[in-house]
Amino acid sequence: MKRPTLEAVAARAGVSRATVSRVVNGQSTVTPEIRDTVLRAVSELGYVPNSAARSLVTQRTDSIALVISEPATRVFSDDRLFSMVVRTVSSELESSDKQIVLMLASSPRGHERVERYISSGHVDGVLLLSMHGADPLPAALNRMGVPVVSYGRPAVAVALPYVDNDNVGGAGAAVRHLLSTGRRRIATIAGPQDMIGGQDRLTGYRDALRNSDRRSIVAVGDFTRASGADAMRQLLEDDPALDAVFAANDEMAIGALRALRRAGRRVPDDVALVGFDDIEAAAYTDPPLTTVRQPITEQATAMVRLLLTPAKDRTTDHIILPSELVIRESA
């Protein structure tokens, strides 16, 4: 069966082809009465707009790229942060009649592929997630002039709109809670130091200890459970008398919890433990994990809305959402 054409819709509605095109492309120059007539003809004929042709007219693809600078093994593992961000971004874009294009860029080849795709005009904007160190994408996208918003404050010296949570304040609240329960030798499993989130949470930890005249005890992980377990074993070897640990995310805290149990340390009796993020699994560990809630859903939603707001209409180019200490049984 032959697909209805724009001309057929115009004939059924009794208007010009150009008028039908303006209605289909959402332009506001057509009167409500004519728009209703055209839309009725579209419905009666079952007309489906040609997306490629429409893009040529509107200069829009109605597609947004979510670029994650991590390998697939991490993105599609049990890491709830990534899945929550992808789910929230997808839902928010769908409500705006746009679609998500998920792209991974964990290597130089991946970065080149992403740059080629975006420079070819396949998307209307880009959302960046989990950038490390001197990531080349922000500067490259800035040169292209494509709208970009970052999940988290970027580490590069590029004027990039972003949405973040209060990492420094949240880490400080975690450490102050441990101090308030009488803990004296408080260690941290810091996140990767080529990421702003890892840097800021370490800063919050150190600031809180400095104000209480306690010394820092630091091991560094990579935000995975395995690295949390490794770092916890290292901390126990370096300072067997430690009585509390702040892990810079829940995945590392869960790994640390397992290492503490294997070392014969009771949580929280011997060692209190606090994480960061409040992923779903945090409430189901044994004991349930005290953590700092990062507003992941709200942050992803704000990121999409900031991207979809024209630069001239924005009141700010960065948003920092509050974090919240969630006290459970591990500390």
- Give domain limits for the chain: 6-58, 63-164+297-320, 167-293
Least confident of 17-31, 239-253, 261-275: 17-31
d(CA 153, CA 128): 10
Answer yes or no: are the C-beta atoms of 315 and 300 closer than 8 Å.
no
Pairwise pLDDT comparison (60 vs 122), residue with the higher score:
122
From residue 261, give the alpha-carbon distance in Å to each of 51, 136, 249: 57, 41, 19
d(CA 319, CA 246): 26
Listed residue (237, 236, 231, 234) closest to 249, CA to CA? 231
Class of domain 167-293: alpha beta
Over range 112-130, report the average pLDDT. 83
Q: Which residues contact 294 (CB under 8 A, 6 or more apart)?
A: 81, 165, 170, 276, 277, 278, 323
pLDDT in tens, 38-73: 888 887 887 766 554 554 444 566 888 888 877 666
Whether the per-residue pLDDT at 226 is higher than 60: the answer is: yes
CATH code linked to domain 6-58: 1.10.260.40
Least confident of 108-117, 132-141, 160-169: 132-141
pTM of the model: 0.75
The CATH H-level superfamily of 63-164+297-320 is Response regulator (3.40.50.2300)
Least confident of 40-44, 149-153, 161-165, 262-266: 40-44
pLDDT in tens, 283-310: 999 999 999 999 989 999 999 999 888 8
Tell me whether domains 6-58 and 167-293 share a fold: no
